[in-house]
Amino acid sequence: ASTFVNRLKKSSADEGSIGNSLNSALTGKLAIVGAAPNSDDIDPANQRLLGELSGQQRSVTNDVRWIQEDLERFYARTQKPIHKEVYEDMAKSLIDEKLERLREKIQMNHTFTSRKLSKNWSDRLMSWAEKLEGPKPDGNGSGGDGGSGGGEEKDFEFMLKVMRMVQAEQDIRGRTRSLEQMLRSLKLSER
């Protein structure tokens, strides 16, 4: 279960980082508020920023979707009520759909709304992590449960690492394709 806590906390931090970047974009010298995303009114640097933040949001959305699916399968094996509760909370919140809508809002330069939603989802992800984490030990514990179920937890963590590696490889391939297309278009425009 600690894997889920760490993954939810990471997603919360990533979502918070997106919100902070949006906040900086709103309050910085290069304010991007009020311009259509593909118009001449928006600076190319800000267009790139919106594209990068949209890509980061897509990554967070995918991570959260994986967490939700993995949590459902983990509950099916362990039958622990806390896992069911968090999974059901996530499902009821429609987080995967709403994070995808948030990505679209970022892409359309709805910066103010996106910043607020990003902060809310970051807080929500953190609350689910804290719920799974349970109360903090006060240092007077008896030393744990004797290690039962440790092998299954390690297998699950290994599987998640492999899945993350595959996802990272796919992301690298996608970025490589984008860069190659950009390079080809630059070469064509130079002619």
What is the pTM (predicted TM-score) of this model? 0.68
Q: Model confidence over 24-34: pLDDT tens digits? A: 877 765 555 55
Which residues in the chain show pLDDT less than 70? Answer: 28-41, 136-151, 189-191
Tell me what pLDDT residue 145 has. 47
Burial classification of residue 4, based on how many CB atoms lie within 10 Å of its CB (0-12 exposed, 13-18 middle, 19 or more buried): buried
Let me know: does 96 contact 68? Beta carbons within 8 Å.
yes
In terms of phi and psi (left: phi > 0; alpha: psi -120 to 50; beta: otherwise), the region of 88 is alpha
Tell me what pLDDT residue 18 has. 92
Tell me what pLDDT residue 116 has. 94
Q: How far is CA 2 from the centre of its chain?
A: 18
Tell me what pLDDT residue 41 has. 67
Tell me what pLDDT residue 143 has. 46
Tell me what pLDDT residue 182 has. 78
Tell me what pLDDT residue 144 has. 46
CA Rg value for the chain: 20
The Cα–Cα gap between 7 and 9 comes to 5
Residue type at position 54: S
Tell me what pLDDT residue 38 has. 56
> 114 to each of 42, 54, 65, 132, how far by Cα in Å?
17, 11, 19, 27
